[in-house]
Chain A
Amino acid sequence: MCPHERGHGVNVLAHLSAGAGQPSPPAARSGRHRVLPYLLVLPGAAWLLLFFAVPLVQLAGASLYDPTGSISTGYALSWAFGNYPAAVQAYWPQFGRSFLYAGVALALALLMGYPLAYAIACKAGRWKNLLLVCVIAPMFSSFLVRTLAWKTILSDNGALVGLLRDVHLLGPDGRLLATPIAVVLGLTYNFLPFLALPLYASLERLDRRLLEAASDLYAGPLETFRRVTLPLSRPGLIAGALLFFIPATGDYINAELLGTPNEYLIGNVIDSAFLVRLDHPQGAALSMLLMSVILAVVVVHLRRAGTENVL
C-alpha cells in the first residue's frame, strides 16, 4: 500500500463527489446491453485483481511467514500469527503516534480547509477558478520537493523561527524543525487539498436559494450555517476527512524529513522493515494491521455520520 499515489486520491475524490444521489439508469432490456456493463468493468476489474487483490493476499501470506527466515535463506509460510502481537508490542507507540498526528492534522486542516472551501465556493466570484488552481497547483510539484521546501521554511535560521523567537512564542533556542509540530504541520499542508476539494465541490453545489429560504425563516447567518450549510456540505466533509486521514495516517515522508526518530510514524517502521531491516514478515504484519485499523476507523466514521450519500 503506497499512501503517496496522488493520482488515485484524485480519482476517488471525483468519484465520491460525482456519484452522490444520482439515480441509476433504467435497466437495459436487450442481451447485448446486459453484457456491455460487464465488458466495461473488465479492464478495471482485471487491474484491481492483478495489482491490488493478488498483492494483498501475498502481503497477508507474508505476514504469517516464519519470522526466523530471511531474504537470503528464504521464507516458509508457517501461519505464524505470533507476528501480529510481536509487532504491536514492539511498535505500538508509532501506531498511536500515527493516529494522533493524523488526527491533530485533520483538526487543523478542517479549521483551515472549511473556510477556504467556503470562500472559494461562495464568495470568490470571478476569482473562483484562479483560487482553485492555487489549491491544486502544489500538486504539480513532487510530494518530496514540497516537504523539503517545508524543511527550509521551518529551519532554525529561517524567517518563521526568527519571528516566533522575537515574539517569544519560541525560546531563544527553540526550534520547529525536528519537532512533532513540524511533522503535524507537514501532514496538514500536504493533504489539505484532499480535504478542501471535495468540500468545495459540495459547497459549490449548495443551492443558494436554500440560504435565502433559511434567512426568510428567521435564521440569522450563524443559524443558517449551522442548520443548512453545514448539514448540506456533510457528504463533502466526510469524503474530504477520509481522503485526508487515510493517507496522513500511513505517511512516512513528513516524519522522515521534518522530524526525528522520536516522531517516527508507523509508515517509517514499515518502510524500514521492508527496505532496511529486511524483516518482511514484520513489515507485512504491520501493513495488514494499519490497513485493518484504518478500515475500522472509516467504517465507524461512516456509520456514525450515517450518510447514504457517500457509500
Chain B
Amino acid sequence: MTRETPAGDLTLANLTKTFGRRTAVDDLSLTIPQSSFFALLGASGCGKTTTLRMIAGLETPTSGQVLLGDRDIARLRPYRRPVNTVFQSYALFPHLDVFENVAFGLRRRGIRSVGGQVRQMLSLVQLDGYERRRPAQLSGGEQQRVALARALINHPQVLLLDEPLGALDLTLRRQMQVELKRLQAEVGITFVHVTHDQEEAMTMADTVAVMNAGRIEQLGAPADIYEFPATAFVARFLGQSNLIAGDVTGGSGDDLLVTAQGARFSVPAGRSRTDRGPVFLGVRPEKLHLATAALRVPAGHQHLDGTITDASYLGVSTQYLLRTAGGVELSVFVANSGDQQRFAIGERAVAYWNPRHAFLLGRRAETPDPTAPVAGEPVGVSA
C-alpha cells in the first residue's frame, strides 16, 4: 500500500474561480484541520461545488492556492492528487461490477493483489457479497456506499463528498449521515462535505462554513454558528430566525439598547455584531415563549404583543405565527411538553424572550425588514 505520509491541514489561500464574467468563488481562504469533518454549506450556485472541484483538481483555479500541508496542489492533475471524491451522481462505472469499481483506484496505481482490501472495504460499508453485482442492480443507498468504498479504499488524505446523500430518501439519508460520521471517526481522513442541507451539515460536521455568492459568510462549530450567526444571511439560512429591524440607540453597562417596533430592547454586547446604526434584533423561534398577557411575562424577559395568525401542530412542537402591533410576524416554537397552554388563531398573546438569547446583526439601512408583512396588508410603524 503506497500510503503517503499524512500531509496535514488542507488550506485554501485566496482561491478564486471565474467563469467568463461570473465569479463562482471569490478570494476564498480557509483552513481545514487534518482529520476533521468539514462541511461547506450553501444554496445552489453559491460556489461550494466549484470549491470542491478545485480541491479535487477537476477545475483549475483562476488564482490562489490549494495547500495540502505546505504543498500547493492547485495545478496538479486530478489523478496526481491524494484526494478522492464521492460524486453527487456517484458516477459508478456501469460496465464494471462492484468489485472492479472499488478496485479501480488501486489497480490504476499498479497494485496487483486487491482482493483482500476490496472485501475489507466492502464489509466496512456493509456490502459483503455484492462483489459481482453491476451498479444498475443496486439501490440508491447501495450505490452511494459503493461510491464511498471506491473513494475510501485509496486512503486519500482528503475525501471530498459532493452532496452524496441528496438522492436518498429521508430515512436512508439519516442512516447514512450517522454511518458517514462513524466511518470518518474510524478512518481519520479529512472529510470535506458539500451540502445545501443545513441539518445534514450540522449533524455531521465538526466545522461548518456557510457560503454565499462565492464567499464564506461564517465559519465555526455548528452550535456556535446557530446560536450566534454572523450575518442575516446565515441567520436565515441556518434554521429559522426572527429578525426585527431596529436601531442601536445607546448602551447601558454590558448591554446595547435597541429601538424597534416602537419599544426598547437590550442585547448583551457580547451577542452583538455591531454597536451602532441600523441593526436586526434576532431571536430564534424556539427561544421565544408565549404568554396570555404582559403581566405573566417572567421578570428579566423582554416581550412584544400581538395576535396569533397561524398555528401548525407538528407533533413534537406547535409552530405559531404572531403578528405584532407593528406588523411584524414572529415565528414561535412551543415544545409539546404537555403542560403548555394552547393558543387559538385570532387570540391575543405576548411573545417573550430572555435577552441573553437574542443577538444583534448589522443591517444595511436600505435592507427591508424580512419579517415585515407581505404587500397589501396593513403596515404598522416603521423602525
A binding-site residues for B, Cβ under 8 Å: 207, 209-210, 212-220, 223, 227-228, 231-232
Q: For B58, B93, B105, B151, which residue has the most chain A Cβ atoms within 10 angstroms? A: B93
Residue of A nearest to B85 (CB): A216
Given contacts A223-B108, A231-B95, A232-B94, whether A216 and B78 have CB atoms under 8 Å apart is: yes
* A218 contact set on B, CB distance < 8 A: 79, 105, 108-109, 154
A217, B150: Cβ atoms under 8 Å?
Answer: yes
Residue of A nearest to B136 (CB): A21
B binding-site residues for A, Cβ under 8 Å: 56-58, 77-79, 83-85, 87, 89, 91-95, 104-105, 108-109, 150-151, 154
The answer, among A215, A223, A227, A232, for a CB contact under 8 Å with B78, is A215
The answer, among A213, A214, A217, A228, for a CB contact under 8 Å with B154, is A217
A210, B93: Cβ atoms under 8 Å?
Answer: yes
* B91 contact set on A, CB distance < 8 A: 207, 209-210, 212-213
Residue of B nearest to A220 (CB): B79
B77, A215: Cβ atoms under 8 Å?
Answer: yes
Residue of B nearest to A213 (CB): B91
* A212 contact set on B, CB distance < 8 A: 58, 78, 87, 91
Minimal beta-carbon separation of B164 from chain A (angstroms): 13
Q: List 11 A-B contacts (CB under 8 A).
A: A207-B91, A209-B89, A210-B94, A212-B58, A212-B87, A213-B91, A216-B85, A217-B105, A217-B154, A218-B154, A220-B77
* B89 contact set on A, CB distance < 8 A: 207, 209
Given contacts A218-B105, A219-B108, whether A213 and B87 have CB atoms under 8 Å apart is: yes
Minimal beta-carbon separation of A24 from chain B (angstroms): 15
Give the top 9 A-B pairs by smallest Cβ distance, nearest first: A213-B91, A217-B105, A218-B108, A215-B78, A209-B91, A218-B79, A219-B108, A231-B95, A216-B85
A228, B58: Cβ atoms under 8 Å?
Answer: no
Question: How far is A214 from B56 in the complex, measured between Cα atoms in Å?
Answer: 12
Minimal beta-carbon separation of B304 from chain A (angstroms): 51
Residue of A nearest to B153 (CB): A217
Minimal beta-carbon separation of B46 from chain A (angstroms): 21
Question: How far is A232 from B56 in the complex, measured between Cα atoms in Å?
Answer: 24
B95, A213: Cβ atoms under 8 Å?
Answer: no
Known: A217-B154, A219-B108. 6 other contacts (CB 8 A): A207-B91, A213-B87, A215-B77, A216-B78, A218-B154, A219-B79
* B108 contact set on A, CB distance < 8 A: 217-219, 223, 227
A216, B93: Cβ atoms under 8 Å?
Answer: no
* A220 contact set on B, CB distance < 8 A: 77, 79
* A231 contact set on B, CB distance < 8 A: 95
* B83 contact set on A, CB distance < 8 A: 216
Q: For B57, B87, B91, B94, which residue has the most chain A Cβ atoms within 10 angstroms? A: B91
Residue of B nearest to A230 (CB): B95
B109, A215: Cβ atoms under 8 Å?
Answer: no
Question: How far is A171 from B91 in the complex, measured between Cα atoms in Å?
Answer: 55
Question: How far is A227 from B150 in the complex, measured between Cα atoms in Å?
Answer: 15
A216, B94: Cβ atoms under 8 Å?
Answer: no
